[in-house]
Amino acid sequence: MGSSRGHICWKWGSPLRRLTGFSRLLSTAALGPQICVVGSGPAGFYTAQHLLKHHRLARVDIYEKLPVPFGLVRFGVAPDHPEVKVSTYRVENVINTFTQTAHSDRCAYYGNVTIGKDVTVKELQRAYHAVVLSYGAEDNRILGIPGENLLGVYSARAFVGWYNGLPENRDLKPDLSSETAMVLGQGNVALDVARVLLSPLDVLRKTDITEGSLAAIACSKVKRVWLVGRRGPLQVAFTIKELREMINLPGTRPLLDPADFTGLGDVIKDVPRPRKRLTELMVKSALEKPGEKEASRWASATKEWGLKFRRSPLEVLPAADGKQARGIRMAVTRLEGSGESARAVPTGEVEELECGLILSSIGYRSLPLDSLIPFDPKLGIIPNSLGRVQGAPGLYCSGWVKRGPTGVIITTMNDSFDTAQSVLEDLQTGVLNLSNSKEGFESVRSILHSRGVHPVTFSDWEKIDAAEVARGKLAGKPREKIVDPQEMLQLVSH
């Protein structure tokens, strides 16, 4: 995190956003502000980190509905990516940074507390000078097509949650009896899902994939995965690292139609370098004769994956029983325009593909937390200005619920620093009135107690963490995630 100051100085050049002497100025306040953050993913922790760093008297409490912290850092990264870099930051480094924040004597973590149910936002506002909503995007976008609710159709978000140990998805039980699976979407999550479905078991056994999902994948019949996109090769959303992993995945071969890539070499001369390199890799894999080693590996492969372009889902087709999915009907599209702004327009032609497993990977979306909080259902965000919630003084937002489910962790970091800076400015200018004494968690504690809610502290989480690591060691894995919240709570019951 050594570069964070550089990011701050670059982003906030206006007089209000200069940080020189800012901490000293704020620390002379007679009373320290009580601030709470709702959500313990990257947005929540980065917001807390910035507030604590730049206000010497600020007290920050982080609330999380699960007993365990870290959000998508724990539940979103593929299990075979323990060393993955999220932007320029390794996951373990990110978690270490968040742990340092949680260990601050001016920070506290309270898990197992659902805001909106166990305690309301209004009650938080009475207890704190500022409330920051950083609860992310906890739902998935729907396809909006007939047959979407048939058996065998799942959101990629739920599937990822299932193999990553997200408690709400522990009972998913996906049907993996079909030889062909289809992933609707061509982003990194879509590639993660395809890779986990096709990876050799000896690779997955060494990861922190959950015991139940590993057992299910061991019995999987899936041999072929199609990744489907409405647009073309120049609009795919995955990155070159994830594509290279798929191309090199042991025991699999890529199915890339040369017709999709012919002539792209000339088109990409002037596109940005990341897009150019990504497209060149696809062109090379589709059009060039593979080397001897690669040709041999592909020839002996028992599984395969491919990219289907210019296809838009119209309907999931039911099997004879009317309950199970047997395939999907898609509109064949053509592109209008070019580059990122190209639109997919139906040609009138239709194609059907047989498959019994369909995973929708078309994005996440946020949900409203409380009917009293402004929310834009179309954009799936809380309307805000630099993180200040419109028409709600003292209420702020950061992360995906602020800007939509886009960007990597460095995007979330800078976005969260922006919101924290808005809070600091409002403290400096008196928008947030510190003359009103606030009790913070002391007030919330009595509310939770009266409602029979027992919050989980960060030291409690560290007991859960130690138990998971110990169980993993016995199985030769980095950790064995506990997927039942009740089991987590029993581990830390006093």
How far is the C-alpha of 1 from the C-alpha of 101, rounded, in Å? Answer: 12
Q: What is the pLDDT along the chain (494 residues), one digit of tens a residue?
A: 333 333 333 333 333 333 433 443 343 334 699 999 999 999 999 999 999 999 999 999 999 999 999 998 899 888 876 555 344 456 778 899 999 999 999 999 999 999 999 999 999 999 999 999 999 877 778 888 999 999 999 999 999 999 999 999 999 999 999 999 999 999 999 999 999 999 999 999 999 999 999 999 999 999 999 999 999 999 999 999 999 999 999 999 999 999 999 988 888 888 899 999 999 999 999 999 999 999 999 999 999 999 999 999 999 999 999 999 999 999 999 999 888 889 999 999 999 999 999 999 988 888 888 888 999 988 899 999 999 999 999 999 999 999 988 877 888 999 999 999 999 999 999 999 998 899 999 999 999 999 999 999 999 999 999 999 999 999 999 999 999 999 999 999 85
Cα 69–72–78 angle (5° rounding)?
A: 120
**Nearby residues of 203 by Cβ (< 8 Å), 6 or more positions away:** 80, 250
List the one residue out of 272, 278, 286, 183 whose CA is nearest residue 236: 278
Tell me the one-letter amino acid at 2.
G
Tell me the one-letter amino acid at 370.
D
Give me the pLDDT at residue 132, please. Answer: 98
Q: Is 134:397 a contact under the CB 8 Å cutoff?
A: yes
Sign, Cα dihedral of 288, 291, 294, 300: positive
Range list of β-strands (E), 65-193: 85-86, 89-90, 107-110, 130-133, 139-140, 153-155, 180-184
Q: Is 273:280 a contact under the CB 8 Å cutoff?
A: no
**Which tokens in the block code for residue 107?**
């920070």
**Nearby residues of 187 by Cβ (< 8 Å), 6 or more positions away:** 236, 237, 238, 361
CB atoms within 10 A of CB 281: 14
Q: Is 189:361 a contact under the CB 8 Å cutoff?
A: yes
How far is the C-alpha of 25 from the C-alpha of 314, rounded, in Å? Answer: 59
Q: Which CATH topology does 4-138+366-456 take? A: Rossmann fold (3.40.50)
Q: Where are the domains of the chain?
A: 4-138+366-456, 141-364
List the one residue out of 309, 318, 301, 314 whose CA is nearest residue 262: 309
Q: Which CATH topology does 141-364 take? A: FAD/NAD(P)-binding domain (3.50.50)
List the one residue out of 95, 87, 57 whose CA is nearest residue 469: 95
Give me the pLDDT at residue 27, please. Answer: 37
How far is the C-alpha of 51 from the C-alpha of 106, rounded, in Å? Answer: 10
Give me the pLDDT at residue 88, please. Answer: 41
C-alpha distances (whole Å) from 6 to each of 9, 162, 468 are: 5, 38, 36
The residue count of the chain comes to 494
**Which tokens in the block code for residue 207?**
């990861």
Cα 403–407–412 angle (5° rounding)?
A: 65
**Nearby residues of 433 by Cβ (< 8 Å), 6 or more positions away:** 129
4-138+366-456 and 141-364 share one CATH topology?
A: no
Sign, Cα dihedral of 216, 218, 224, 225: positive
Cα dihedral angle (119, 382, 393, 13), rounded to 10 degrees? 130
Give me the pLDDT at residue 335, please. Answer: 94
Give me the pLDDT at residue 494, please. Answer: 59
**Nearby residues of 473 by Cβ (< 8 Å), 6 or more positions away:** none
pTM of the model: 0.88
